[in-house]
Amino acid sequence: MGSLRRLLLLVLVILLVQSSLSPFLNRLSPKIHMESALLLFFSLFFSSSLSPTASSCTLFPEEARPTKSGYLPVGAAPAANSSSSAAAEAALFFAFYEAQQPVSPSSETPLLTWLQGGPGCSSMFGNLFELGPFLVSQESPTLRGNPASWNRRFGLLFIDNPIGTGFSIAPSLDSIPRNQSAVAAHLIFALRHFLASDPSFLSRPLYVTGESYAGKYVPSAGYYIMRQNARLPVDRRINLRGVAIGNGLTHPVTQIFEVLNAL
**What is the predicted pLDDT for the residue at 19?**
41
pTM: 0.74
**What is the predicted pLDDT for the residue at 76?**
56
pLDDT in tens, 130-182: 999 999 888 877 888 899 999 999 999 999 999 989 999 988 888 888 899 99
Report which residue type is found at 234: V
Instruction: Average the pLDDT over each of 21-35, 114-128, 142-156 and give the range with the smallest value.
Output: 21-35
Mean pLDDT for 182-204 is: 93
**What is the predicted pLDDT for the residue at 116?**
95
Which residue, 111, 108, 203, is CA-closest to 157?
111
Instruction: Average the pLDDT over each of 2-6, 144-148, 196-200, 217-221 and give the range with the smallest value.
Output: 2-6
Which residue, 104, 75, 63, 58, is CA-closest to 196?
75
Banded pLDDT at 15 (limits 50, 70, 90): very low
Sign of CA dihedral 8, 13, 19, 25: negative
In 30-121, alpha helices (H): 30-46, 84-89
Banded pLDDT at 1 (limits 50, 70, 90): very low
**What whole-number percentage of the chain has pLDDT above 70?**
69
User: Pick the residue with more confidence: 60 or 105?
Assistant: 105
- Angle CA(157)–CA(161)–CA(165) in degrees, nearest 5? 125
- Angle CA(22)–CA(23)–CA(29) in degrees, nearest 5? 70
Sign of CA dihedral 184, 199, 146, 38: negative
State the distance between the two ends of the chain, measured CA to CA, in whole angstroms: 54
pLDDT in tens, 47-74: 444 444 555 455 555 655 568 889 999 9
Q: Are 96 and 155 in contact (CB under 8 A)?
A: yes
User: Pick the residue with more confidence: 207 or 43?
Assistant: 207
Which residue, 200, 211, 92, is CA-closest to 150?
211
Kindly calculate the radius of gyration of the chain based on its CA atoms and give it in whole angstroms. Answer: 19
User: Mean pLDDT in the chain?
Assistant: 77
**What is the predicted pLDDT for the residue at 28?**
38
> Is residue 240 pLDDT above 60, yes or no?
yes
Banded pLDDT at 22 (limits 50, 70, 90): very low
User: How far is it, in rounded angstroms, from Cα 124 to Cα 134?
Assistant: 11
Q: Are 15 and 37 in contact (CB under 8 A)?
A: no
In the chain, alpha helices (H): 3-25, 30-46, 84-89, 124-126, 180-195, 214-231, 252-262
> Is residue 80 pLDDT above 80, yes or no?
no
> Is residue 208 pLDDT above 50, yes or no?
yes
Which residue, 151, 144, 259, is CA-closest to 209?
151
Report which residue type is found at 29: S
